[in-house]
Amino acid sequence: MTEASVSKPKKKPSRWGLFGPILIFLVLLAGWTGYWFYVASQLENRIALTRQNLIDAGYHVGYSPLHVQGYPFRMFIALDKFEAIAPTGKGFAAPRLEAEASAFVLDKWVFVATEGLTYYRGRRETPDLGAIDLGEVKITGDALRASVSGWTQPIQTIAVEGLNPIFTVSKAEYPFLLQSAQRFEAYLRPNAAAVDNADFLWRVTGAKGHPESLIGRMGPNKTFDLHLEGTVGQAAKFKDGRLTAWRDGGGVMTGVKASLHIGDLEIFGQSDAMRVDPNLALQGPLNVEIKGSGDPVTFLLGAGLIAPEYEPLARPFVGTTMTADKPVKLKFDFRDGGTYVGPLKVSDAPVVR
């Protein structure tokens, strides 16, 4: 009898192709979920520790209880009733401050003040009245946001933006520079060429100054555009909120450039190096060019670069007229608490507050 061919039972098809991807997905999901909640817990602990360290250093920091949200791909934090005020009295408060970062890139956070901000201006020391509280500035607008990256670096990269901001002071006797603007921008980033130096840019467009402020006096009821940039040396010294620490640490601003367009006036300023003296008065040279029409002395009086009592002496140095084709160019020197044009003192030096 010939051996009959007997077919072997077929092997059951593997179900790995069906369930394998699902198992891999579940393992990855469990791992990611564990990572996300671990990082969220670490963030909450770090925020609490930072708050306590600031309080120990004399700051006032307060906010309602918070919890990190945004699972699975975001880290979202809402700080309600947020306040952070330095020992100098300067600081910020917000009814609600929202912070968000990608769970994949925790080094960059975006902050949004959804209901506006309050800026506490701190105190000013005066020889007669002692410390004066400058009050608050309430800031509202269509959008108030900032981004901060490079948290592990000595100097972070910071960008601040406000769309249609409005600035309302609590004490009219201490006017703020701005009353409103179409757009406000400020940027700070580490300088690529020097450690502990930071490049800054400050720009406002379509702005109006408070009537009693410096720019408000220069061009009443006129909108202006302002651009200021430069490099701050010893930038980390600003971290305690005190200008004196930066000054005592050898702080200097270099490559300072400024431009102001107000009405038919165009003003350009440039300084190679600017410091502050023990009284926080500016020190250093300032080259100024003014284009437009009218009396340049009137503008300089409004800007505070020439004091009224020095006007008769300053006019021969400045001239009485200017045109767009014939700008006025002056070199000011801030030294010894005064503002000089050549050997002539024309006002006190501006004091930084």
Provide the whole-model pTM. 0.84
Whether the predicted pLDDT of 197 surpasses 60: yes
Confidence of residue 278 (pLDDT cuts 50, 70, 90): confident
pLDDT tops 80 at residue 301: yes
3-state secondary structure the chain: CCCCCCCCCCCCCCCHHHHHHHHHHHHHHHHHHHHHHHHHHHHHHHHHHHHHHHHHCCCEEECCCCCCECCCCEEEEEEEEEEEECCCCEEEEEEEEEEEEECCEEEEEEEEECCCEEEEECEEEECCCEEEECCEEEEECCEEEEEEECCCCCCCEEEEEEECCEEEECCCCCCCCEEECCEEEEEEEECCCCCCCEEEEEEEEEEEECCCCHHHHHCCCCEEEEEEEEEECCHHHHHHCCHHHHHHCCCCEEEEEEEEEECCEEEEEEEEEEEECCCCEEEEEEEEEEECCECHHHHHHHHCCCCHHHHHHHHHHHCCCECCCCCEEEEEEEECCEEEECCEEEEECCECC
pLDDT of residue 219: 67
What pLDDT score was predicted for residue 323?
65
On the question of pLDDT at 2 being above 60, the answer is no
Q: Check residue 244 and give its pLDDT.
A: 77
Low-confidence winner among 116-120, 150-154, 177-181, 337-341 (lowest mean pLDDT)? 150-154
The average pLDDT across 236-248 equals 72
Indicate whether 18 pLDDT > 70: no
